[in-house]
Amino acid sequence: MSSQPPSRPPGSRRIYLLQVVSVVAIWAFVLGISGWILHLLRLSHQLHDVPSASIGISIVAIPVFLTGASVLTYVFVGLRRGRDAGGEEQR
Amino acid sequence: MILPRRDLLKMLGVGAGAVGLGGCRQAWSVPDRLVELALRGPGLESQVQTICGLCAGGCGLTVRLVDGLPVGIRGNPHHPLNRGGLCPVGLAGLEVLYAPGRLQGPLRRQAGGEHGATTWEEALDEIATRLTALTAAGQGDRVAFLSGEPSELFHDLARRFLHGLGSANLSRLDDAGLAHELTQGIARAPGYDLGGADLVVSFGLDLYEDGPTPIHATAAMIGSRPTEQLGALIQVGTRVSPSASKAEIFALVRPGTLGAFALGIAHTLVREGGYDRAFVAEHTFGFDDWTDEDGRERLGFRRLLLERYYPDRVAALCGCDPALIVRVARRLAAAAAPVAVAGGDAVRGTNATWTQMAVQALNALTGAFDRPGGVVMPPPIPLTPLAALPAPPAPSLFAAAGDETAFGVDPVEALAAGVLDGTRPVELLIVLDTNPVFSSPAGDRLREALARIPTVVALASFMDETAAAAELVLPTPTFLERWQGATTPRGVAFSTLGLAPPVVEPLTDARHPGDVLLELGRRLGGEAAAALPWSDYPAYLKQRIEGLALSGQGSVVTGSFEESWIQFLEERGWRFLGRKEIESFWRTLTQESSWWNPVRSRGDWGRLFATASGRYEFFSRRLEARLVELGAAGEGGASAAEALARGSARLGLEAEGDEACMPHHEPEAARGEGELTLLPFRPITARGSLGVTSPMVLEMFGYTAFSPWQTWAELAAETAHELDLGDGDEVRVESDRGHFAAVVRIHPAAAAGTVHVPLGLGHEAPGSLAAGIGANPVGIMLAARDPLSGRLSRTATRVRLALVKRRSRGGPPPRHGGSEA
Amino acid sequence: MSADKHEFVDGDLLRSIEQSGVGFRVATTVLGLTVLTAWVLFSRQILEGLGVTGLNQPVAWGFYIVNFVFFIGISHAGTLISAILRLSQAEWRRPITRMAEVITVVVLAIGAFHPVLDLGRPERALNIFTAGRLQSPLLWDVSSISAYFMASTVYLYIPMIPDIAILRDRGVRPRWLYSFLAWGWQGTPRQQAVLGRAVNIMMVLVIPIAVSVHTVISYIFAMTLQPGWHSTIFGPYFVVGAIFSGIAALLMVMIVLRRIFRLERYLKQIHFDYLSRLLLIMALLWFYFTFSEYLTAFFGHEPAEMRVFYYKVSGPYAPFFWGMVVCNFLVPVLILAFRRTRTIPGIFVASLTVVVGMWLERLNIVVPSLANPRSGLPTGYYLPSVVEWGMFAGGIATFILGFVLFARFFPLISLWEIQEGRELSVAETAARLETYLPDPPAAAPAEEASP
Amino acid sequence: MSRWGMAIDLDRCTGCGSCMAACHQENNLTAVGPSEAALDRVFHWLRVLPEVSEAHAEVTVTYTPQLCVQCDKPPCVRVCPVHATYLSDEGIVAQIYARCIGCRYCMAACPYNAKVFNWYEPQWPGQLQAKANPDVSLRYKGVVEKCTFCHHRVLKAREDAALAGRGLRDGDVSTACEDSCPAKAIVFGDLDDPASRVSRLARSPRASRHHEDLGTEPKVYHLARKE
Amino acid sequence: MTNRDASPPAPPATRRAGVALRSSGAAAKGVLVAAALVALALVLGGAVLWAARRPLEQPIAFNHALHVGQLEMDCTDCHLYAVNGVRATIPNIEVCADCHDEAASESAEETRLVEYVASGERVPWRKIYRVPEHVYFSHRRHTQLGGIECETCHGAVGEQVEPVGRPLVRLSMEHCMRCHQDSGVSNDCLLCHR
């Protein structure tokens, strides 16, 4: 952290970390939900109670979540990359 | 596994956190003994047979025990009365046992009027002292006993107790059966062989839910038969009860005209020749015109019927279609083994005795007496006879007939009047397991009288209205906690004896009423003690059973119903010989709890018809004699015919002369102002007096009318329409005496101009769940008497309905069918 | 990038954020207390059981489910409308998209919590995750609503990034919050391209999800065999109703906020005019669906259906049923069809009645079917208890509180979109002018006019 | 494997309510009390309902015991989000109280209104809890409950039969309502056994099932003379 | 920010963080307090749960090893209904009295038992192995029909010199279901849930 140029406001790196953590958390959440839906699919297979519609409806949900998370990540990464090359920091 | 709730909650708490614990709105009071048992883990199961003591029906029970604690009740499938079936109240037996509000120990009225705890010793001492003082003063006849215990065995003991004191004042408060006395000359109501009948014509009796033994009736008519041979039912009445809804023909009639309907049927039978000529010729009296001892021509029943009870007139009286009468009569004539029974409205009115006579006349016309599926006398139970005691000097205050009624008095009214008028003072009154303050229309007078009686001792399991008015309240064990000895219920065609030891130790400081009487006898000493020589009630029972054991009659109910029948046949004629056999018989009997004897000796007409003529009397000579006696009183020298007419007039009868002595339609008296007739009925959930201590019974009380925990007023749709009332409206039912609140239930098929209200709710006495629930229709009834039996009518009161509040909650379910169907 | 770049004409939009006043504190206190009361009532319900509600034997569902459907319906205001408007490049959308999206997120959270209120054992709600069964429409709801919540949150957030950066750059407190949320936005062309692409993806994604959410909610009812519920048009019927109530709620919010925050400069007559026309169309569409639904039931004349039908049309629910028709159809159509009454107060009244009417519609759907069971039980009766009313009030208070808090921290009108609109319009006008005005001397034709 | 079913002969049934009471006692149901009853929260797994029908200008009332009809295609099972209600191997629609979250979706979906809900913690006034049937669990607030076809009796009877070295025979298992019925109107047994009393009754021309048109395939048959 | 606080040069870092996050100081503190409260609640809750699970003590320190091992008795000699009954039952004085009507040893525990027997008072044994209230468990179904040894569910109770304070085998639904699965018995809920 000490590698930051002195002009940078203190704590910006911490905020960056928090941002990374939140993106990771979103992924965890999305993957968790997807995993959960898959778990339910497995469960319903075990219990022999799957009218195929329910599979369909839930299968749709997973890509939605993944897309949502991907879009967020894309924005996050895109905004980082798209900053002014000079690196004049937000103030 | 029995888990006390605390424990369950603890377990829940682990999963639910503190959240689960907050749910208890009321602390549970589980006795420590039970908690301890539950923590140790339940152990072994067992089953015992016993007898239901919640009403006089005497059904056999099988009680399931875990670790000696009862956890389940079901009907004893081998019991000849109920064959495994059981009514909702019987099934609630354990709720009665464990009910909240049971009397925990003896209570005595304190100076302030409240009841406070006392001990058995003190209470018994006090009673014994009073009794000793009374007997010493020669006032033994100032002791009276009102008993709600139906058993003959107990009745005998109670009678001896009173006789020992020099009193004959014992009343069981049950129906008089005067009609049988007048026409058949028998004091005890005969049995009806429902099991053998192919058609039952029921007048007012809700056969499957009311009457002495509804479950037996169901088992006999339906339960024990294949579906193709179910007993057919024709119902004549004012209300479509669940039983009535089973009827093949339902005749809706005006209240008080049931007897007329029966006579209309009789008319058709006679006119169309559908009656049993042989039986009528051989075993009846007064059918055809006859000549009396003085040579006077007298009216015969046949002529009475043909002249007076033709269908058009009867239909006009009853408010029904004349064709219906003919239809019922033809159906009756076509039946192989029909029998007619009366109950409900038919036995509650001011014309109850004549109505019952009219119904019985149908049995005579169809030759139902002493025929399988007819009216029979159950064989006597050969109990050990007890040595006779000298009769008390004064007659029973419950038997004393004044000149106002022909034969009897209403026991509650007589007691109350005697005390209040000072004509028959009572110094000490014992009330056992009955609640006349609540159940009698003269209840409020009785309450007044109880306040005047120096010592009122109530033996009861719960604090009821009568006990609340008593000075001493002594807890009795409920039926599962006491020795029971139940004798043949009324109206059953065979004999039964239920004899069962307690299933559990009393949960409260209660004593068996029999033991209380025996103990009192011991304390009194002298004649009273000599009259009751038994150490305790079981010892008394055992002595009475010896006679049964030695008689070799009947059989203990074991194994399946059929098995016991075969066993019975095999054992016929076999005699118990010695003490050892008696012991073994006693052991078997107490274990299996029931004995029965289905074998009737046929042709024993003397037991059925104990009249002077030895026949069934269409024309009651006894009634005639009494009417003549009444008419002649004070005016000697009148001719018999004049005396008869004057006697009838004195009783306020509409019928004149010979008709008065025969079954006829005597219009029902009406009391008070109002557009509707108040008719009480007893739903199956109101059987016995203790059912209402069970939460379940109260909750399903009005299940037929979607009315849990409340009293409802059943109205015919047209009546409701006239009064602008709708289903679910709250109304006030008002008579000239008082009023109560009820919820209107519109019944699609009820007699117009009536309001039917269930009996059984409306308790005031605190202490049980029933307090303040619903209303007691008896409480607003006006006094009107059956001029023959003296019993207070329950169907004579006119009432008005006043809307209190329109329906606030959902409506009745829609009707199905409709015009498309 | 200097802060003065953002010293633009719309600074008044940030007034509520930069200087929150007494009004904010009073509002949060009052609303907070209402919400707190609702939570106290809820804890009482947890402790004592669902008996504290007015629910009973045939009517096993009541206010909680009604409000669940109602709130989720309202939530369609937002995302769906803003996405459709964005997708169709309706330029006038710019000042209203943000508000619509906020409604969605806040109301969706409230609505999604309602089934939990309705649970007999809310502490076991996790059973849905450990042991859920996909064949239950409730699970379809869980996945669909959570997807919608996720998508609409993202869809609210991403277009907000430039505005957050403005706040950050203006040094509004709490600065860490804005720095954290601004994700390093500097407004470079590349960043703008990224953001634009992301918004485009999300707006396409959000529309089918939004449609699916209310369809699936209608399936809760339609998948049973109960009379009045078992209907194939329930899906579209619910979606139409949801959009209908969503637009009405949006209009109400716009009118109220316009008044409170003096947004007359931004929310102009034309916004209300366009939206109220949309509302009018939806009212007609709603009527069409309602008519079809009830006509089918009536014409089929199936006894169980008819019992429910008459219960609504002429029975105990007639006031609610006809109230619904009046509120959802007669009043809005009469007000909105005429230019003279299509004023802002008129629109407010129409929107209010539509919101009330749509709530009545949910009530009419949930309760009568349950109150008229097939089984021969007596007709049911449902009177919500104080607890249920309290929770309803709590839900509404939460909604307003959500708005108040949002307005306290974020601009209610998208600053950069308006800015972009202005710039675009200038460019567009310039481009259009260039097509017929003489070209400036010695210059190549401008090509950057495309949006 | 058995497929349990029940036949209720309405020509026999007198509407006496014994089945209702027996069920209440056997299955540890509790009374809700007057104030709750006034709110329509009375609680029976089996109830006797009066049905009024008008046909040919004649009004008739029949009193019919109604309990969970144990559908082979139960609408309640399809909607349960947590597998708390399910169709057991033997065709009993079971309710697993430990799993139930109390969403009451099954109640809303059941065309027979066979399910009841514990609005409050069940009350056992006095010492009543001592009589609780140890074979049946005590429920608690916030869960749905329903008729189990006296499944605990099935378990015991099967054990008894196995210990006697045989399979279950017709009549080995009886439900509490069947036991208590004085009219012997209720017959319980295995529908898969063509010789069992219940399957003979189910094939009777008098037999019908409630709301057969809904396709729920109930296993409770009501028998009545058709006129 | 917490990992920052935990790093060695703590004081300046905190101060710097304090500067940077000035406006959020109060919030951070609130979060910290809340976290501490949650942690405290967890610890307390855990303690309560742990306390609730403390081993049960029996009134008499019954020596299973002595009876089963040395005296070669069968479980069912005392647990009379473990094979034939639904419930195994814990033997009490009726059973004990068969052998212990008078003391057979000097053991203090036995003396206590004999006192119970002599006075006719029942020994207040504590139940160790219990299934939840909603579970129907039949011993005979498992022991006699299923042929399962007692040890499968009860562990090696027979080798215990002292009474066990808590179950040797944890009776959980997984335990039951695994065994059912392994032995090919149905896992239909209704077989156990009542």
Name the superfamily (CATH) of residues B191-376.
Answer: Dimethylsulfoxide Reductase, domain 2 (3.40.228.10)
Within this chain, do residues E27 and E111 fall inside the same structural domain, yes or no?
no
Count up the domains in chain E and report the number: 3
**Token pair of C22 as six digits:** 């007494």
Q: What is the mean pLDDT of residues B405-426?
A: 89
Q: With respect to residue E40, please indicate whether it lies within any of the assigned structural domains.
A: yes
Contact state of B41 with E124 under an 8 Å Cβ cutoff:
no
Could you give phi then psi for residue B49, rounded to 5 degrees?
Answer: -95, 140
Q: What is the mean pLDDT of residues C195-211?
A: 88
Within this chain, do residues E139 and E186 fall inside the same structural domain, yes or no?
yes
Boundaries of domain holding A76: 27-81
Domain B676-805, what fold? Barwin-like endoglucanases (2.40.40)
Rounded CA Rg of chain B? 27
Neighbours of A31 (CB within 10 A): 14
**D203 CB within 8 Å of a chain A CB:** no
**D155 CB within 8 Å of a chain E CB:** yes
Cβ-Cβ contacts under 8 Å, B811 against chain C: 378-379
Q: Picking from B695-699, C381-385, D160-164, E83-87, which range would have the lowest pLDDT averaged per residue?
A: E83-87
To the nearest whole percent, how much of chain B has pLDDT over 90? Answer: 54
Nearest to C20 by CA among C267, C256, C261, C263: C261
Counting CB pairs under 8 A, whether chains A and B reach 3 or more, is no
**E177 CB within 8 Å of a chain A CB:** no
Size of interface B-D (CB pairs under 8 A): 243
Higher pLDDT, B524 or A12: B524
Q: With respect to residue E15, please indicate whether it lies within any of the assigned structural domains.
A: yes
C64 → chain D, closest CA residue: D103
Within this chain, do residues E100 and E81 fall inside the same structural domain, yes or no?
no
Q: What is the mean pLDDT of residues C304-333?
A: 92
Q: Is the pLDDT of residue A35 over 50?
A: yes
Q: With respect to residue E107, please indicate whether it lies within any of the assigned structural domains.
A: yes
Q: What is the mean pLDDT of residues C26-46?
A: 93
E2 → chain A, closest CA residue: A14
Count up the domains in chain A and report the number: 1
Q: Token pair 């007639």 is at which residue?
A: C318
Instruction: Name the E strands within B384-541.
Output: 428-432, 455-460, 472-475, 484-487, 495-500
What's the pLDDT tens digit per position in B102-118?
Answer: 898 999 999 888 899 99
Q: With respect to residue A5, please indicate whether it lies within any of the assigned structural domains.
A: no
Rounded CA separation B570/C196 (Å): 103
The predicted structure's pLDDT at residue B394: 84
Contact indicator for C353, D90 with CB cutoff of 8 Å: no
The predicted structure's pLDDT at residue B41: 45
Could you give phi then psi for residue E170, rounded to 5 degrees?
Answer: -75, 120
Nearest to B34 by CA among D126, D127, D125: D127
Q: With respect to residue E53, please indicate whether it lies within any of the assigned structural domains.
A: no
To the nearest whole percent, how much of chain C has pLDDT over 70? Answer: 95
> How far apart, in Å, are the Cα atoms of E173 and each of B666, E133, E134?
74, 13, 12
The predicted structure's pLDDT at residue B549: 85
Higher pLDDT, B571 or E183: E183
Cβ-Cβ contacts under 8 Å, E125 against chain B: 40
Contact state of C123 with B16 under an 8 Å Cβ cutoff:
yes
**Token pair of E4 as six digits:** 């920052």
Contact state of C379 with B813 under an 8 Å Cβ cutoff:
yes
C167–chain A nearest CA distance, Å? 11
**E131 CB within 8 Å of a chain D CB:** no
Counting CB pairs under 8 A, whether chains B and D reach 3 or more, is yes
Q: Is the pLDDT of residue B502 over 60?
A: yes
Q: With respect to residue E188, please indicate whether it lies within any of the assigned structural domains.
A: yes
What's the pLDDT tens digit per position in B10-24?
Answer: 333 333 333 323 333
D146 → chain E, closest CA residue: E194
3-class secondary structure, D57:
coil
Contact indicator for B98, D132 with CB cutoff of 8 Å: no
Q: What is the mean pLDDT of residues E152-165?
A: 85
Q: What is the mean pLDDT of residues B553-559?
A: 79
**C371 CB within 8 Å of a chain B CB:** yes
Within this chain, do residues E117 and E132 fall inside the same structural domain, yes or no?
no
Burial B644-669 (b: 16+ CB within 10 A, else e): bbbbbebbebebeebbbbbbbbbebb
What's the pLDDT tens digit per position in B38-84?
Answer: 444 446 788 899 999 998 888 999 999 887 888 899 999 989 999 99
Q: What is the CATH number of domain B116-174+383-553+558-592?
A: 3.40.50.740
Rounded CA separation E115/E93 (Å): 10
Rounded CA separation C140/C115 (Å): 13
Contact state of E17 with A9 under an 8 Å Cβ cutoff:
no
A49 → chain D, closest CA residue: D78
Q: With respect to residue A16, please indicate whether it lies within any of the assigned structural domains.
A: no
The predicted structure's pLDDT at residue B16: 33
Within this chain, do residues E101 and E131 fall inside the same structural domain, yes or no?
no
Q: Confidence class of residue C221 from pLDDT cuts 50, 70 and 90?
A: very high
Neighbours of B675 (CB within 10 A): 13
Within this chain, do residues E75 and E112 fall inside the same structural domain, yes or no?
no
CA–CA–CA angle B49, B53, B56 (5° rounding): 120
Q: What is the mean pLDDT of residues E132-149?
A: 85
To the nearest whole percent, how much of chain D has pLDDT over 70? Answer: 97
Cβ-Cβ contacts under 8 Å, B43 against chain E: 81, 87, 89
Cβ-Cβ contacts under 8 Å, A40 against chain D: none
Of E189, E193, E194, the CB nearest to D135: E194
Within this chain, do residues E150 and E172 fall inside the same structural domain, yes or no?
yes
**E191 CB within 8 Å of a chain D CB:** yes
Within this chain, do residues E116 and E166 fall inside the same structural domain, yes or no?
no
The predicted structure's pLDDT at residue A51: 61
Within this chain, do residues E86 and E135 fall inside the same structural domain, yes or no?
yes
Nearest to B180 by CA among B617, B792, B601, B644: B617
**Which helix (H) or strand (E) segment is B46 a member of?**
strand B45-51
Size of interface C-E (CB pairs under 8 A): 10
Q: Name residue B713's beta-bridge partners.
A: B744
Contact state of D40 with C137 under an 8 Å Cβ cutoff:
no
C15–chain A nearest CA distance, Å? 20
Boundaries of domain holding E160: 59-90+127-194
Best D53, D113, D139 member to test C by mutation, with max C CBs in 10 Å, is D113
E9–chain A nearest CA distance, Å? 12
**A61 CB within 8 Å of a chain C CB:** yes
Query: Among the residues of chain D, which ranges form H helices?
Result: 18-26, 34-38, 75-79, 105-109, 151-163, 176-180, 197-202
The predicted structure's pLDDT at residue A11: 63
3-class secondary structure, B677:
strand
- CATH code at D31? 3.30.70.20
> How far apart, in Å, are the Cα atoms of C58 and each of A87, C379, D24, D109, E138?
67, 8, 19, 11, 37
Q: Is the pLDDT of residue B572 over 80?
A: no
* Mean pLDDT of the residues in chain C: 87
Chain D, window 118-177: residues with a beta carbon less than 8 angstroms from a chain A beta carbon: none
Contact state of B40 with E130 under an 8 Å Cβ cutoff:
no
Within this chain, do residues E99 and E68 fall inside the same structural domain, yes or no?
no
Within this chain, do residues E80 and E159 fall inside the same structural domain, yes or no?
yes
Q: Confidence class of residue E23 from pLDDT cuts 50, 70 and 90?
A: very low
What's the pLDDT tens digit per position in B319-357?
Answer: 999 999 999 999 999 999 999 999 988 888 999 999 999
The predicted structure's pLDDT at residue B511: 94
Q: With respect to residue A10, please indicate whether it lies within any of the assigned structural domains.
A: no
What's the pLDDT tens digit per position in C280-296?
Answer: 999 999 999 999 999 99
Cβ-Cβ contacts under 8 Å, D135 against chain E: 136, 194
Q: Is the pLDDT of residue C450 over 60?
A: no
In which order are the strands placed within the sheet that holds B249-252? B249-252, B232-237, B199-203, B338-342
Contact state of A40 with C154 under an 8 Å Cβ cutoff:
no
Q: Is the pLDDT of residue B561 over 70?
A: no
The predicted structure's pLDDT at residue B134: 92
What's the pLDDT tens digit per position in D38-81?
Answer: 888 988 999 998 888 776 556 778 888 999 999 999 999 989 99
Nearest to B278 by CA among B346, B364, B159: B364
3-class secondary structure, B158:
helix
**Which helix (H) or strand (E) segment is A38 a member of?**
helix A12-46
Q: With respect to residue E83, please indicate whether it lies within any of the assigned structural domains.
A: yes
Contact state of B40 with E132 under an 8 Å Cβ cutoff:
no
Contact state of A14 with E1 under an 8 Å Cβ cutoff:
yes
Contact state of C61 with D120 under an 8 Å Cβ cutoff:
no
Contact state of B39 with E126 under an 8 Å Cβ cutoff:
yes
**A9 CB within 8 Å of a chain E CB:** yes
What's the pLDDT tens digit per position in D5-14?
Answer: 999 999 999 9
Q: Select the highest-mean-pLDDT range: C88-97, C396-405, E116-125.
A: C396-405
CA–CA–CA angle B292, B293, B299 (5° rounding): 5
A18 → chain E, closest CA residue: E1
What's the pLDDT tens digit per position in B695-709?
Answer: 999 999 989 888 889
Q: Which chains touch C (3 or more CB pairs under 8 A)?
A: A, B, D, E
Segments making up each domain of chain B, as ranges = 1-42, 116-174+383-553+558-592, 191-376, 676-805
Of B17, B809, B813, the CB nearest to C381: B809
The predicted structure's pLDDT at residue E56: 73
Q: Label each residue of B436-482 as H, E or C.
A: HHHHCCCHHHHHHHHHHCCEEEEEECECCHHHHCCCEEEECCCHHHC
**Token pair of C41 as six digits:** 């009532």
Say if residue B338 is preceded by a cis peptide, omega within 30 of 0: no
Counting CB pairs under 8 A, whether chains B and E reach 3 or more, is yes
